[in-house]
């Protein structure tokens, strides 16, 4: 069928209108319970994702980098002289009729067809048993990582849940280690995953932009919990020079320290080993 680019443009605009109407209908419905409310949010999130992807296709069509849209308009919708416009129109109408005559299965898809299924689907959301469908955090893996690390300490799981965010209680020299950095990355990864699953309509990027801005301001003003008083110059030097080589297991990790820090780490290890040897002897 002719005018495929223009037909794709029309269909994309129609899809956008249908998705917008469906999203409004879904949000106007009052969920029966918390589970239904979560399903509603994920359904709307899916619709918004479809709106974004369809809009991207339209932008690509209108940019017309390959000139296909311009050529199609020139071929089917324009004429060298005014008197040729109606013949072009009837020629196009004949093509449409011939197409539908040859393709009896082709039908008009109304807004009550495929897109209506979006209002009936039950999104597949993965939660662990401990998360109870988004009601609680499941911190067991992070808890095991914490109590088995040098920066952590033994405690009950219930106590960890109430204190895992209190990082200001961890010593500065322990915070400078790779395991602690990886531990924080695991916390962030889990909390972001939990937020995506329980609050799919939240603008995560906007939230993080605000948090980063607030953190930068607090850091400049010395108001970050646990870092209000960074210590005297002597203490800072001691903390920075304290390199525990036991934390590093590959050559690449050691290279990241830099030559000076690596030299200090080896010197400290040699001195400590010599001290243990001499006392044992």
How far, in Å, CA of 18 to CA of 51, rounded?
Answer: 10
Residues near 134 by beta carbon (within 8 Å), at least 6 away in sequence: 38, 125, 127, 194, 197, 198
Single pTM value for the model: 0.67
Q: By the 8 A CB rule, do 119 and 26 touch?
A: yes
CA distances for 87 relative to 7, 80, 94, 96, 97, angstroms = 20, 12, 10, 14, 15
Q: By the 8 A CB rule, do 224 and 230 touch?
A: no
pLDDT in tens, the chain (281 residues): 445 788 888 889 999 999 999 999 999 999 999 999 999 999 999 999 999 999 999 999 999 888 888 877 776 655 555 556 667 667 767 777 776 677 655 444 444 456 777 787 888 899 999 999 999 999 999 999 999 999 999 999 999 999 999 988 888 888 888 899 999 999 999 999 999 999 999 988 899 999 999 999 998 988 888 887 654 444 444 444 455 555 566 666 666 666 666 565 555 443 344 334 443 44
């Amino acid at each position: 069928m002719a005018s495929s680019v223009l037909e794709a443009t029309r269909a994309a605009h129609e899809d956008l209108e249908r998705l917008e109407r469906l999203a409004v209908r879904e949000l106007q419905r009052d969920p029966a319970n918390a589970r239904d409310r979560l399903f509603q949010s994920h359904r709307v999130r899916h619709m918004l994702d479809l709106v974004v992807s369809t809009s991207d296709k339209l932008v690509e069509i209108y940019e017309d980098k390959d000139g296909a849209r311009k050529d199609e308009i020139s071929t089917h919708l324009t004429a060298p002289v005014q008197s040729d416009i109606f013949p072009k129109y009837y020629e196009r109408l004949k093509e449409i009729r011939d197409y539908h005559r040859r393709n009896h299965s082709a039908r008009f898809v109304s807004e009550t067809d495929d897109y209506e299924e979006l209002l009936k689907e039950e999104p597949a959301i993965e939660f662990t048993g401990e998360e109870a469908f988004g009601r609680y955090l499941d911190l067991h893996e992070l808890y095991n990582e914490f109590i088995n690390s040098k920066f952590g300490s033994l405690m009950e799981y219930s106590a960890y849940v109430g204190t895992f965010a209190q990082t200001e209680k961890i010593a500065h020299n322990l915070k400078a280690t790779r395991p602690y950095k990886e531990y924080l990355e695991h916390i962030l990864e889990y909390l972001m995953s939990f937020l995506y699953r329980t609050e799919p309509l939240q603008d995560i990027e906007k939230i993080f932009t605000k948090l980063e801005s607030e953190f930068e301001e607090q850091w400049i003003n010395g108001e970050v919990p646990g870092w209000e008083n960074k210590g005297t110059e002597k203490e800072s030097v001691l903390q920075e020079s304290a390199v525990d080589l036991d934390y590093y297991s590959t050559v690449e990790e050691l290279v990241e320290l830099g030559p000076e820090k690596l030299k200090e780490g080896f010197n400290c290890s040699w001195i400590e080993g010599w001290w243990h040897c001499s006392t044992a002897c």
